[in-house]
Amino acid sequence: MDNAILMYTSKGDYAIIKVNNTYVINVLFPNFYPNSHFDVSKSFLLDISRLVENKEFTKTKELAESIRKDYEKYKAYEIRPVITTKKT
């Protein structure tokens, strides 16, 4: 299993995880399923390395909001859930 390191989190919104040399954004979807109160976290493999390395977390927040608003647009980039093993 690859080590996944939590790089940044915005509680109740999204988290950025580093797996090897790749960054993954986990986005929380409140009430994802119709008529349900369950929140779902989904992982997306996008090229966000520049944003993370430059600490442009306002832009990653905007990206998380965009993913939530237009899930179908980002669905092709969804990967299996990433579980962190340690925090930076």
> Distance (Å, rounded) from C-alpha 82 to C-alpha 31?
20
Mean pLDDT of 17-36: 89
pTM score, whole prediction: 0.85
Indicate the range of 11-15, 55-59, 84-88 predicted with least confidence.
84-88
Look at residue 81 and tell me whether its pLDDT is greater than 90. Answer: no
Query: The domain containing residue 72 runs over which residues?
Result: 4-87
Look at residue 4 and tell me whether its pLDDT is greater than 70. Answer: yes
Report phi then psi at 51, rounded to 5.
Answer: -65, -45
How many independent structural domains does the chain possess? Answer: 1
Contact predicate 87/6, CB 8 Å? yes
Look at residue 1 and tell me whether its pLDDT is greater than 60. Answer: no
Tokens found for residue 39: 């929140």
